[in-house]
Chains A and B, each alone.
Chain A
Amino acid sequence: DAGITQSPRHKVTETGTPVTLRCHQTENHRYMYWYRQDPGHGLRLIHYSYGVKDTDKGEVSDGYSVSRSKTEDFLLTLESATSSQTSVYFCAITRDPQMNTEAFFGQGTRLTVV
């Protein structure tokens, strides 16, 4: 299995509080992604990173920010959590999309905003 871990695995938080999810990889892969998974929507890309301090928005980036200060860590922050952000969040890594390599996923973080 690829060395990718997410933390925490579960979190319940109150509306309006900040939340940070962490994705850690030991594969030295350049590309990292944050997705959310909701019923009927499949996986939707929130943000992705193509290197240290290089990030870009995905299709559902509103309300989220990310940071990548080192290769192995990609943080997803909800500045002020809302109930609509209740979801399961997956982190993924790829070595290099140009080389048609598969993506490896973390185990997911279940976030509940009450």
Chain B
Amino acid sequence: EDKVVQSPLSLVVHEGDTVTLNCSYEVTNFRSLLWYKQEKKAPTFLFMLTSSGIEKKSGRLSSILDKKELFSILNITATQTGDSAVYLCAVEGTTDKLIFGTGTRLQVFP
């Protein structure tokens, strides 16, 4: 059965800290892994990682994919209160469906 597991479930840090969010997966014929940020609205797309693109960076956010060990990490450096959100990891396989993890809730305090 395809599954996506995120850890930790919850994380509390202070502004300026660096955080690492984890996503491990088991999926038939992996196609892509996606990271989303969800605040009090719909998830917004952050990164897509595929076999041809295993490392992405945008500002303070970066992500890598390890296809051998079947996991991805999302790094956020110099965190800000605006980074507080639930971060969702999703994986796409042969079923053409996105399988989501339960998310990591990040709280950043001043």
Residues on A facing B (Cβ under 8 Å): 31, 33, 35, 40-45, 48, 50, 58, 90, 92, 97-98, 100, 102-108
Q: Is B84 at the interface (CB under 8 A from chain A)?
A: no
Q: Which of B4, B45, B102 contacts A102 (CB 8 A)?
A: B45
Beyond A35-B100, A45-B98, 7 extra complex contacts between A and B, CB < 8 Å: A42-B101, A43-B90, A48-B96, A97-B92, A104-B45, A105-B42, A105-B43
- Chain B interface residue number, banded: 20 to 34
CB contact under 8 A between A97 and B102, given known A102-B48, A107-B42, A108-B42: no
Residues on B facing A (Cβ under 8 Å): 4, 31-32, 34, 36, 41-45, 48, 50, 88, 90, 92, 96-103
Q: Which of B42, B97, B100 contacts A42 (CB 8 A)?
A: B100
